[in-house]
A and B are shown apart, each in its own frame.
Chain A
Amino acid sequence: MTEFLSENALWALTLTVAAYQLGAWVQKKTRIAALSPILTGAALVIVLLIVLKVPNAQYQAGMTHLSFLLTPCTVCFGIPLYKQLDRLKGNLTAIFAGVFAGAAASIFLIAGMCFFLRTENAVSIALLPKSITTAMALPLSEKAGGLVPLTAAAVILSGILGNVAGEGIAKASKICHPIAKGVAFGTASHVAGTAKAAELDELTGAVSSLSLVVAGILTAVLMPFLLPLFA
């Protein structure tokens, strides 16, 4: 069984898509927004892997055939960004102000919390870039001496948290404008948040993709200033 599974990648793809679809069906039926198919799908896969005694590494190896699409899928946000350009142009000041506030708040709040929680330096450094996309966060963490697996986990959790809870937070804090929502999703939760933003509205998705790019660059610029705290 294990031998067949390790030579054949399709079971992992089929399982993932089926688990996700089932999760989407549950979310629709229960009307509970927090039951994101990403969460229920992943939970289902984990349970099945444990019950069938299939190592996670084998599942991950199968999933690389799908995961490589993350880069072209992100590239595709160039399209809504272009289509929504006219609606973005007059609002660039607001967008940049929001992203700057968010990216700065992120890095200072994380540094402050780590300082008071007395986490180890490698842990604090690993958490600093956690709101930006994996491909930018991991090298930043590694270069500064952070615990890289923690950065990877923190980036994913921040992304999924924004994806799942974003709509609720926006409603509770009266973030109503599609552009403001886009800035919030992209700045707090990178590509995973942008995936949700794109489901809500094309303009929101476009703004979110722009915000994740700007937030990533700002974080790379700001992070070195806080590193002396954790040396």
Chain B
Amino acid sequence: MKYLTQLLIIFAFTFLGEALSALLPLPIPASIYGLVLLFLALKLKLVRTQQVEDVGSFFISLLPILFVAPMVDLMDCWETLRSALLPSLAVIVVSTVFVFYISGRVTELVLRKQEEKHHD
């Protein structure tokens, strides 16, 4: 029963997210509405952590496996993308690595600056 209730709450928030995403004209997907709503419900104590935690962790641990099928799906798109393949791959690899580097470094630097201030 415990897991069933948790599943119900998570599905209900997902459904609310789907509904908001369909009703509101913003380019925000259902998953993000649902994430924010679930966060707010926890913050406002409408839902307690123990009421979603176990199934929540299970779902989060499931995530990587959900990316296998989209990877496999790439086998069918080579034909359409062949003409732009090399430049696209170059852009994807270079920009992903650079964005990872720059966002991580900037955060790290600001965090350090703040820590130094605390020590002064």
Contact = CB atoms under 8 A, between A and B. Distances in A.
A and B are interacting partners: yes
Interface of A: 16-17, 19-20, 36-39, 41-42, 45-46, 49, 56-57, 59-60, 63, 66-67, 69-83, 85, 90-91, 93-95, 97-99, 101-103, 105-106, 109-110, 113-114, 117, 119-120, 123, 127, 130-131, 133, 135-136, 139-140, 147, 149-150, 152-154, 156-163, 165-166, 169-170, 173-177, 179-181, 183-185, 187-189, 191-192, 194-196, 198-199, 205, 209, 211, 213, 216-217, 220
Given A180-B108, A192-B64, 13 more contacts: A37-B64, A38-B64, A38-B67, A60-B69, A75-B38, A77-B35, A77-B60, A94-B107, A113-B87, A119-B84, A150-B80, A150-B88, A175-B108
B69 A16 contact: yes
A192 B29 CA distance: 16
Give me the 7 closest cross-chain CB pairs, A-B, nearest first. Answer: A102-B103, A98-B107, A135-B29, A78-B38, A184-B104, A175-B104, A75-B34
Contacts of A150: 77, 80-81, 84, 88
Contact of A117 (B63, B73, B90): B90
Nearest to B21: A135
A76 B56 contact: yes
A72 B8 CA distance: 11
Contacts of B106: 97-98, 101-102
B111 interface: yes
Contacts of B63: 70, 73-74, 191-192, 194-195, 198
19 contacts: A38-B68, A38-B71, A42-B72, A49-B75, A56-B72, A60-B73, A74-B63, A75-B31, A98-B103, A133-B29, A135-B29, A147-B81, A174-B108, A175-B101, A175-B105, A175-B107, A188-B97, A195-B60, A198-B60
Nearest to B101: A173
B53 A79 contact: yes
B89 to A, nearest CB: 8
In this complex, the member of A123, A170, A180, A181 whose beta carbon has the largest number of chain B beta carbons within 10 angstroms is: A180
B40 to A, nearest CB: 8
Contacts of B95: 106, 109-110, 113, 130-131, 158
SS class of chain A's interface: helix, strand, loop or mixed? helix
In this complex, the member of B11, B18, B94, B108 whose beta carbon has the largest number of chain A beta carbons within 10 angstroms is: B108
Interface in B32-72: 32, 34-39, 41-43, 49, 52-53, 55-57, 59-72
Contact of A192 (B32, B67, B97): B67
SS class of chain B's interface: helix, strand, loop or mixed? helix
B72 A46 contact: yes
Contact of B81 (A77, A91, A149): A149
A93 B52 contact: no
Contact of B68 (A45, A110, A120): A45
B105 A173 contact: yes
